[in-house]
Amino acid sequence: MAGTVAVLKTSPVHVGGQLDESRAYFHRLFWTFPPCIEAFHHCKPLISIDGTHLYGKYGETLLIAIAQDGNSNILPVAFALVEGENAESWSFFISHLREHVTSQPGLLVISNRHNGIKAALEAPDGGWLPPSAYRAFCIRYVAANFAFTFKGKDARRLLVNATYAKTEVEFHYWFDILRSEDLAMCDWANRIEYSLWTQHCDEGRRFGHMTTNISECVNSILKGVRNVPVCSLVKATYGRLAELFVRKGREAEAQMGTGQQFSQHLVKCIEANLKTARCFTVTMYDRDNSEFTVAETTPTGSFSLGSYRVLLASQTCDCGYFQALHFPCPHALACCAYSRLTWEPYVHQVYRLSSVFSVYRMGFTPPIPEGFWPPYDGPIVIPDPNKRRAREGRSRSTRIRTNMDEADPNRPKRCGLCQQPGHTRRSCPQLGGAEHTRGHD
């Protein structure tokens, strides 16, 4: 496909101490496709990066950059096949990602706390330093590191609650409880800059995304092709992205045909805010600048839930939801109803259905058959035998296990063939005949 970006890095081959110029070892590969590059301009201004190990003959790692559109659909935008997660490989991936895909200023990168990612993002000439770009940590990894030092689910829950707090008052409420549990916990958290792991200090750049879970979703989708050769892996990403663009493009087009202006995700959020079972008393203080106070009470009016300042002009509310999620919170909707204003102008452009449709507007074209490729004049790229996995034994897992990897001990084991409890694959009744007999033997 014209416009496809593929950056291949090789290493020299030496035979008997002499350089073999006719061959080269495969080292690293970065690739992305034109529809992905164009689509990212209409997605949320953030990107999630993560790596996943491959299961083939060679110990390679697949690095992925994931974006999300205004309808909460995840979209892989770039890939890299490298020797492992280290400073050099992450620098290779992130530098080409910035050069070819994420050239917009002010982007947010969500990742784990890997030292290789840190070194690549903090490079002076990498283009990832503020104000060109900002970094944020995945809260799941922060909480896992915290739990490794301080045992107990209650302490971890308090840290996560403080992390998700959208206002400074709410953050200090949970942080003070954590301080009363153990002062050392607060000292541990204070060693990390607040803008990297708290929502109330991110200035709305996260759009509510606190983890790299969208990357984990793509990892599961690619699980079936993580043991195939390089060429098949690249073809798989091309084919599955082409299918994704067709399906999501048709969905967005069908929604636009109904006359809707905003994505289904936003419409559901607004409807939920409008149906909230609370009573609001709105007072206007400045008509020109649209400044209000909203007193919130229970439906019976017997209990006050607080008072909030709402500034529609600057799209802020004391509850923090307006500036964090970039669409009106219940208090802002109450102010719009009080002033007979429509809430549509206070929604971020990314949530508009026209933006979602633009994400998938540029489709993929059928790949050119290999017989019609132009002639290649260069060394033959071969796999590096030094990177081949050991033939015997199961490879040791380097994954850092978290609470999401913990299995339920009370869950019954199921057969790998029929998924029914009470027996295993070896004794499965579906095998039948001699195979079933051998399974019992």
As a dihedral over the C-alpha atoms of residue 68, residue 73, residue 77, residue 81, rounded to 10 degrees, the angle is 110
Mean pLDDT within 313-323? 94
| Percent share of the chain, pLDDT over 70 | 91
pLDDT tens per residue across span 60-104:
899 999 999 999 999 999 999 999 899 999 999 999 999 999 989
pLDDT at 306 over 50: yes
Please check the confidence at residue 438 and state whether its pLDDT lies above 60.
Answer: no
Q: What are phi and psi of 126, to 5 degrees?
A: -85, -15
- What mean pLDDT is predicted for residues 265-287? 87
Amino acid letter, residue 175: F
The token pair that represents 100 in the structure block: 């070819």
pLDDT at 195: 93
> In this structure, are residues 331 and 296 in contact, taking their beta carbons and an 8 Å threshold?
yes
Beta strands in 16-150 (DSSP E): 18-32, 46-53, 61-68, 74-82, 107-111, 133-137
Can you give the pLDDT at residue 298? 79
CA dihedral (409, 410, 411, 415) in degrees, to 10, reads 80
Kindly report the length of the chain.
Answer: 441
Strands 279-286 and 291-297: antiparallel
pLDDT of 388 higher than 60: yes
How would you list the strands of the sheet with 304-311, edge to edge? Answer: 279-286, 291-297, 304-311, 316-317
In the numeric block, which tokens belong to residue 144? 């896992």
State residue 108's pLDDT score: 95
Beta-bridge partners for 309: 293
> Do 136 and 201 touch, CB atoms closer than 8 A?
no
Residue 352 tokens read as: 């508009």
Q: How far apart are CA 80 and CA 62, in angstroms?
A: 6
Reduced DSSP (H G I as helix, E B as strand, rest coil) percent helix, strand, coil of the chain, to 5: 40, 20, 40
Residue 393 has pLDDT above 80, yes or no: no
pLDDT range class, residue 219, cuts 50, 70, 90: low
pLDDT value for 392: 57
Q: Specify the DSSP class assigned to residue 210.
A: -
281's CB contacts (< 8 A; 6+ apart) are: 294, 295, 297
* Minimum mean pLDDT range among 8-12, 174-178, 188-192, 218-222: 218-222
Mean pLDDT of 380-388: 89
- State residue 395's pLDDT score: 56
Closest C-alpha to 331, from 166, 117, 212, 204: 166
pLDDT digits (tens, 9 = 90+) for 161-199: 999 999 999 999 999 999 998 899 999 999 999 999 999
Which residues are CB-neighbours of 388 under 8 A, at least 6 positions away?
A: 57, 58, 59
Average pLDDT, the chain: 87
Instruction: Please give the residue that has the higher pLDDT: either 206 or 386.
Output: 206
Q: Which residue has the higher pLDDT, 383 or 399?
A: 383
Structure confidence at residue 41 as a pLDDT band (50, 70, 90): very high
Phi and psi, residue 317, nearest 5°: -145, 150
Looking at residue 433, what is its pLDDT? Answer: 44
| Predicted pLDDT of residue 57 | 82
Give the confidence band of 245 by pLDDT, cuts at 50, 70, 90.
very high
Confidence of residue 409 (pLDDT cuts 50, 70, 90): low
Of residues 437 and 383, the one with the higher pLDDT is 383
DSSP 102-138: --STTEEEEE---HHHHHHHT-TTSS-STTTEEEEE-
CA angle, residues 421, 425, 427, in degrees to nearest 5: 85
DSSP symbols for 376-392: --SPEEE--GGGBPPSS
Tokens of 133: 């770009």
CA 373 to chain centre: 35
Average of per-residue pLDDT across 256-283? 88
**Tokens coding 23:** 């061959």
Residue 428 confidence (pLDDT): 84
Distance CA 16, CA 440 (A): 54
- Is-contact 111 138, C-beta < 8 A? yes
219 against 269, higher pLDDT: 269
Q: In this structure, what token pair is assigned to residue 349? A: 């452009």
Nearest to 321 by CA among 209, 165, 189: 165
Percent of the chain with pLDDT over 90: 59
